Amino acid sequence: MKGGKLIVFSAPSGSGKTTIVRHLLEQEELNLEFSISATSREKRGDEIDGKDYYFLSTEAFKEKIRNNEFLEWEEVYRDNFYGTLKSEVERIWKSGKHVIFDIDVSGGLRIKRKFPVETLAIFVKPPSIDELKIRLKKRETENADKINMRIAKASAELATAPLFDEVVVNDDLDKALNESYDLVKVFIDSEPKREDT
């Protein structure tokens, strides 16, 4: 697998990474395309298969794991899988674009480990855990138990921030958008440092 660059955005749920990724996708000069993740979870609201996610049954997901079809995957909660299909990255690279990911922390770090030179891994940090809780409640997509589960997971995820190339604190959205844009632009415009040269 070889091609363009890989831009990873990871963060605890509710940090605003999806908003940042959507903004960057609108900037045509960056030449980005969104990597659609595969998941075994149920659709939420008006999500569309092949646009928001590739929705697979748990069995179909496990079959793809056995066939080594994933760049990275994780069982986030019991029988609740998320992953990046190799075919998705190849599809985007073939179209001449760079790949941008909106994925969880461990998935983001796995991609960085597999493609250390081609990947820019950015961690989006919420101002605080309390603010995160407020944002998750405002979404009104999950019950209190699920929110508490996400908050518990967020504390562990925040500890991984130093493993990323860059950390963007999202306490002011405009500032976070500008900072993210600058980081991505500089990385895309730079020549990759090949280890073998």
Query: Mean pLDDT throughout 160-181?
Result: 96
pLDDT given for residue 195 in this prediction: 45
Tokens, residue 134? 């407020």
Q: Name the CATH superfamily, with its identifier, for domain 6-189.
A: P-loop containing nucleotide triphosphate hydrolases (3.40.50.300)
- Distance (Å, whole) CA 143 – CA 137: 9
Lowest mean pLDDT among 53-57, 74-78, 172-176: 74-78
Whether residue 11 is predicted with pLDDT greater than 50 in this model: the reply is yes
Looking at every residue in the chain, the average pLDDT score rounds to 91
- Distance (Å, whole) CA 62 – CA 68: 10
Q: How large a percentage of the chain has pLDDT more than 90?
A: 71
Over the stretch 118-154, which tens digit does the pLDDT of each residue have? Answer: 999 999 998 888 888 888 788 777 788 888 888 888 8
Record the pTM. 0.85
Q: Which residues are within 8 A (CB) of 47 and not within 5 positions of it... i.e. 6 or more apart?
A: 53, 55
Q: Which 8-state DSSP code applies to residue 172?
A: S
For the chain, domain boundaries: 6-189
pLDDT given for residue 2 in this prediction: 58
Q: Which 8-state DSSP code applies to residue 36?
A: P
